[in-house]
Amino acid sequence: MSANIEQRKLAAIMFTDMVGYSALSQRDDKLALELLEEHRRLLREIFPRFHGTEIKTIGDAFLVEFNSALEAAQCAIEIQRALGHRNHDVPAERHIELKIGIHIGDVVHRDGDVYGDGVNIASRIEPFAGAGGICVSMDVERQIRNAVETRFEKLAPTELKNISVPMELFRIVLPWERKSEARGQKSEIRKSWAISKGGKSVLIGALGLLFIIGIGWWLTTRPQTRPASPVTEGGQPQNIPEKSIAVLPFENLSSDKENAYFAEGIQDEILTKLASIADLKVISRTSTAKYTSRPEDLKAVAKQLGVANVVEGTVQRAADKVRVNVQLVDARADSHLWAKSYDRDIKDVFAVESEVSQEIADALQAKLSPNESNTLATAPTKDPEAYDLFLKGDYEQREAESGLKAEAFDRAAAFYQQALDRDPNFALAAARLAISRVLRHWFITKLNASEIAKVKEIADRAVALSPDLPEAHIAVGNFYYYGQRQYDKALAEFQRALELRPNNIQAQETIAFIYRRQGRWEQALSEMTKCEERDPRNATLLANHGTTYLNLRMWQEARRAGSRAIALDPHNVVGMRAVFLSYLNGSKDLNEAKRAWATFPPGTTLSNSSQVGSVGAIIGDGVHLYIIERDFATALKAWENKTTEPDQERVRIAALAAIHVLAGDATSAQDEIETARTLIEARLRAEPDHVQALMQLSWINLGLKRDSEAVRLAHAAYELLPVEKDAIGGPQVLAGLAEVQARGGLPGESVKTLRRLLSIPAGISISIQRLKIDPLWDPIRNDPGFQQLLTGQEHVGP
């Protein structure tokens, strides 16, 4: 970046300050300098371990930038831990104690420095940490509270100097702190900020506290006792609508714990009915599912979800009776707006769902159109047993989608089919059956032509039975999207579903994904941002946001989104992949990619039957890291475990063959390569247009020294999935063609293909940084055209 260019971005900022350094300098400047240098050495060893970038030192203070709030907090905790161990073994006069403040917000990079509210707020809140402590803003606490094994003390709301937005601050209670010390500091801080009627005690208490902890600046405005405004991640005020609501999981009070599916189903149907009301903002079930039925801190939950109101409930089922207790709570005031208990026969459960939805809408004074009123009153089926089977199907479908488990998909489909067998007019069951089948097709194993046609019949049946059922249009849209890649037709169906149910997050998320496939990047990003408003705790949504940035070669944004996903769900592999590839493809330091890869669960390869295109998709993006390091033995070991699932075994054996080709020892692995060839050709006989299998067979032919056949197959694969047809998958297949051309003796053609890839959003597969270090390109590395690519520019941004 040239010195005169400004770059604005979202970043986590840490501000540190040595306690008592100025006073020590006046007493013993030699010791002060000695401790200052020791403190700098210690911290500079820790920053890189958490991907922290030192911006500058200001006297005894550090200003450090991080890609995520989680990394900044983990770094701060490690710093305080290291200093605690160090201080334990030295005299008190040689102790080094720090105060640390962390905030996440907008910053501007200019002339090697960083400016903006993100920096200002971090520096303003640091004094409130106390010696050996860490103070964070609400933005940071919201992102890390479920990702770090500590608790938080909430400090009194206040306004900070030159900061227009009232702040809520939290102190991280470090694991090794004694409870008495934590309580003492908490009461001292709260006492200092207590507000008297005249207001003078506030200023006196504040100045007394500032004097004690040695702050070099003075507050110019009196703190106010009004609640801090919730803020978005960018640090701007978030206006929470009065008619916003989250339906938390209903607690299963049945003696039979297997009735959990029934409690979830009641909650889900009430949420779905409320989502049909355009006058309400309703949070997605994906986000609310992260919480318990009755959280201890309801205000905090509501702020994390961005809502004013919360619905809590319990369900108890016994034989043919059901009891449902529901309450609507104003989370801001922690006061009940409405509560009611229902004791009904099981066959009347539909009426309960309708009544609850209607009474909640009335309590929130939501305006309902005639169609919306009709939706609230309508039951999906008149057959209670069919409905029970349907709820069991939904329970299994949620399990299938969260873990991408073939057996769960199959159980869900079986329950949906049984529900349809009992009630052939059950449109919602038909829609969900079609959705389940096509998602299994996309994520697990491809259906053949007659099977996918059957899915379309089921989806069409749902629309015919209930033309205004949103799920029916989602089913048809899923068929066009996942089954046919007919994006315009899919888009029309999802837009219709969104018209019918304005809070339908499933429709809106898929619209964003369709825009990506169409190469409408700005619209995709815009839709994803809208989705986050109604699905703020969905780690996979955030991770997909990061994947979008990867394609656009916006590495820092991809890393940030991936880190946010991991903060919400430490096991989210898609978020991990966004962070990993942002380093592998966009960083000059391969160690950063290695550190990111080390966070993945053991056995991860990052390759599955739904991926297509480049050799990274064949051998796995993570395994490709070993290839870049020329550690072919470890790469082979990653794929050594056999599977019993035929398609997954094909993926495994094809990966091994490709690694042997890259290692240059294909001649000694001919038996393995022939085995892979047999499996892949069998798959292509069943499905001649299987893009991944064509690319796998292309690499098999490279191993057999049949270069022209390898190139032909790669061309055939790309003709099936060009960039114009799929802006996500197409560039990956085009990258695979460039790789085969390079390995198949066509350097000029490979360079030409690479030049095109660098001019379009294709960052998952191709970047200049990767071209420089990847041995994949060794056969053409000395080609003048290839060398010219390394000095050129690549497409960045939408």
Query: How far is 312 from 318, CA to CA, in rounded Å?
Result: 21
Per-residue pLDDT of 109-167, as tens digits, reads 877 778 877 788 888 888 888 889 999 988 788 778 767 767 888 887 666 765 555 67
State whether 639 and 712 are in the same domain. Answer: yes
Give which of 471, 110, 104 is closest to 269, Cα–Cα.
471
> 517: which residues sit within 8 A by CB, 6+ positions away?
481, 485, 487, 726, 727, 728, 729
End position of a domain, from candidates 513, 531, 549: 531
179-183, 255-259, 584-588: which is most confident: 584-588
Are residues 547 and 764 in contact, defined by beta-carbon separation less than 8 angstroms? yes
Residue appearing with tokens 């000695």: 34
Query: Percentage of the chain with pLDDT > 90?
Result: 55
CATH number at residue 614: 1.25.40
Per-residue pLDDT of 422-454, as tens digits, reads 999 999 999 999 999 999 999 888 888 899 999
State whether 267 and 325 are in the same domain. Answer: yes
Give which of 337, 287, 276 is closest to 308, Cα–Cα.
337
State whether 143 and 253 are in the same domain. Answer: no
pLDDT at 607 over 90: no
The pLDDT of residue 432 is: 97
CATH number at residue 313: 3.40.50.10070
- Name the pLDDT band for 775 (thresholds 50, 70, 90): very high
The enclosing H or E element of 522 equals helix 521-534
State whether 350 and 399 are in the same domain. Answer: no
Are residues 607 and 617 in contact, defined by beta-carbon separation less than 8 angstroms? yes
The pLDDT of residue 427 is: 97
Per-residue pLDDT of 654-668, as tens digits, reads 899 999 999 999 998
The enclosing H or E element of 584 equals helix 573-586
The pLDDT of residue 188 is: 36
Residue 36 lies in a domain: yes
End position of a domain, from candidates 555, 576, 601: 601
Per-residue pLDDT of 265-320, as tens digits, reads 999 999 999 999 999 999 999 999 888 888 878 888 999 999 999 999 999 988 88
Q: Among 367-376, 601-610, 618-627, 686-695, which stretch is predicted with the lowest mean pLDDT?
A: 601-610
- Domain count of the fold of the chain: 5
Reduced to 3 states (helix: H, G, I; strand: E, B; else coil), residue 657 is helix
Query: How far is 662 from 633, CA to CA, in rounded Å?
Result: 12
- Name the pLDDT band for 402 (thresholds 50, 70, 90): confident
- Name the pLDDT band for 173 (thresholds 50, 70, 90): confident
State whether 371 and 407 are in the same domain. Answer: no
CATH number at residue 472: 1.25.40.10
State whether 573 and 709 are in the same domain. Answer: no
Residue 2 lies in a domain: no
The pLDDT of residue 719 is: 96
pLDDT at 218 over 50: no
State whether 32 and 113 are in the same domain. Answer: yes
The pLDDT of residue 106 is: 74
Residue 118 lies in a domain: yes
pLDDT at 611 over 70: no
CATH number at residue 151: 3.30.70.1230
End position of a domain, from candidates 322, 345, 379: 379
The pLDDT of residue 605 is: 72
State whether 413 and 526 are in the same domain. Answer: yes
User: Which residues form the domain of 563?
Assistant: 538-601
State whether 115 and 13 are in the same domain. Answer: yes
- Name the pLDDT band for 200 (thresholds 50, 70, 90): very low
Query: How far is 420 from 198, CA to CA, in rounded Å?
Result: 70
Query: How far is 366 from 763, CA to CA, in rounded Å?
Result: 45
Residue 1 lies in a domain: no
State whether 394 and 502 are in the same domain. Answer: yes
Residue appearing with tokens 């070669």: 553
Residue 234 lies in a domain: no
State whether 468 and 585 are in the same domain. Answer: no
pLDDT at 692 over 70: yes
Average pLDDT over residues 164-186: 61
pLDDT at 201 over 50: no
pLDDT at 651 over 80: yes
Give which of 313, 307, 298, 234 is closest to 536, Cα–Cα.
307
Give which of 556, 579, 505 is closest to 286, Cα–Cα.
505
Query: Percentage of the chain with pLDDT > 70?
Result: 89
Residue 687 lies in a domain: yes
- The more confidently predicted of residues 531 and 155 is 531
pLDDT at 217 over 60: no
Residue 784 lies in a domain: yes
Q: What's the Cα-to-Cα distance from 330 to each of 44, 339, 476, 756, rounded to whole Å?
A: 47, 12, 38, 55
pLDDT at 183 over 80: no
Residue 41 lies in a domain: yes
Cα-based torsion angle of the residue sequence 153, 158, 161, 167 in order, rounded to the nearest 10 degrees: 70
Query: How far is 385 from 722, CA to CA, in rounded Å?
Result: 48
State whether 372 and 509 are in the same domain. Answer: no
